A and B are shown apart, each in its own frame.
Chain A
Amino acid sequence: MQDLLNAATLGSIYLLFTLGMALAWGTIGILNFAHGATFMFSAFVAHVLSRETPLPFLAAVAISVVVGALMSVATQVLAFQQIIKRAKSQHHAELRILIGGIGVAAIPLAIAQRETKSSPFGINSDYTATVFEFAGLRLSSTALVILIAGLGIGIGLTVWLRRSRQGLALRALGVDAETSAGMGVNRQVMAIGTMAVAGALAGLAGALLTFHLSAIAPETGDQLIIKAFAIVVLGGLGSMAGAVIGSYVLAGTETLVLVAGHGTWVDAVSFGLIFLILLVRPQGLLGRKEVRRT
Chain B
Amino acid sequence: MNDWYLSNIVLVQSTFTTLLLALSVQIPMRMGVFSFAGIGAYGIGGYVAAMCMVHREWTTVPAIVAGTLAAGIATFLLGLVVQRLTGLYMGMATIAFTLIVAVLAVNGGEWTGGASGLFGALGDITTGLIIGCAVVVVVLLQFTEMGGLGRRIDTVREDPELANAMGINVARYRRLSFLASGLVGGLAGALVTLLRSTITPDLVNFHLVVLALTVIVVGGSGSWIGALIGSLIFVWLPTWLVFIGEWEEIVYGVIVALAAIFLPSGVLGVAKNLWHRFRTRDERARLKAGGGTPAGETGDAGGRGLVPSVEGEA
Q: Do chains A and B touch in the complex (CB under 8 A)?
A: yes
**A residues neighboring B (CB under 8 Å):** 31, 79, 82-83, 86-87, 91-92, 94-100, 102-107, 109-111, 113-114, 222, 226, 229-230, 233, 264-265, 267-268, 270-272, 274-275, 278-279, 282, 291-294
User: Given contacts A87-B264, A264-B115, is CB(A291)–CB(B253) below 8 Å?
Assistant: no
Q: Which of B87, B100, B256, B264 contacts A106 (CB 8 A)?
A: B256
B117 within 8 A of A: no
* B214: A residues at CB distance < 8 A: 102-103
* B249: A residues at CB distance < 8 A: 106-107, 109-110, 113
Task: Please indicate which of the listed interface residues B85, B249, B253, B260 has the most CB atoms of chain A within 10 Å of its own CB.
Answer: B260
* B91: A residues at CB distance < 8 A: 98
* A100: B residues at CB distance < 8 A: 256-257, 260-261
* A268 and B85 form a contact (CB under 8 A): no
Assembly CA distance A31 to B260 (angstroms): 14
Q: Besides A107-B250, A294-B84, 11 other CB < 8 A contacts?
A: A82-B261, A86-B264, A103-B255, A103-B258, A110-B253, A267-B99, A268-B103, A274-B95, A275-B100, A278-B92, A282-B89
CB distance from A287 to the nearest CB of B (A): 12
* A106 and B252 form a contact (CB under 8 A): yes
B103 to chain A: closest residue by CB: A268
User: Given contacts A86-B264, A292-B86, is CB(A99)–CB(B256) below 8 Å?
Assistant: yes
B83 to chain A: closest residue by CB: A294
Binary interface encoding of chain B residues 133-147 relative to chain A, with 1 for a CB under 8 A from any of its CBs, else 0: 000000000000000
B271 within 8 A of A: no
B106 within 8 A of A: yes
CB distance from B158 to the nearest CB of A (A): 11
A223 to chain B: closest residue by CB: B206
* A96 and B93 form a contact (CB under 8 A): no
Q: Which of B106, B160, B264 contacts A96 (CB 8 A)?
A: B264
* B253 and A107 form a contact (CB under 8 A): yes
* B88 and A31 form a contact (CB under 8 A): yes
Assembly CA distance A293 to B250 (angstroms): 36
B261 to chain A: closest residue by CB: A82
* B99 and A279 form a contact (CB under 8 A): no
Q: Which of B34, B206, B255 contacts A95 (CB 8 A)?
A: B34
* A274: B residues at CB distance < 8 A: 92-93, 95-96
B254 within 8 A of A: yes
B224 within 8 A of A: no
* B103 and A86 form a contact (CB under 8 A): no
* A272 and B96 form a contact (CB under 8 A): yes
Assembly CA distance A91 to B86 (angstroms): 10
* B85 and A79 form a contact (CB under 8 A): no
* A291: B residues at CB distance < 8 A: 89
* A95: B residues at CB distance < 8 A: 34, 87-88
Task: Please indicate which of the listed interface residues A31, A107, A114, A230 has the most CB atoms of chain B within 10 Å of its own CB.
Answer: A107
* B81 and A279 form a contact (CB under 8 A): yes
Assembly CA distance A279 to B79 (angstroms): 12
B107 within 8 A of A: yes
B61 within 8 A of A: no
User: Given contacts A91-B87, A95-B34, is CB(A264)–CB(B107) below 8 Å?
Assistant: yes
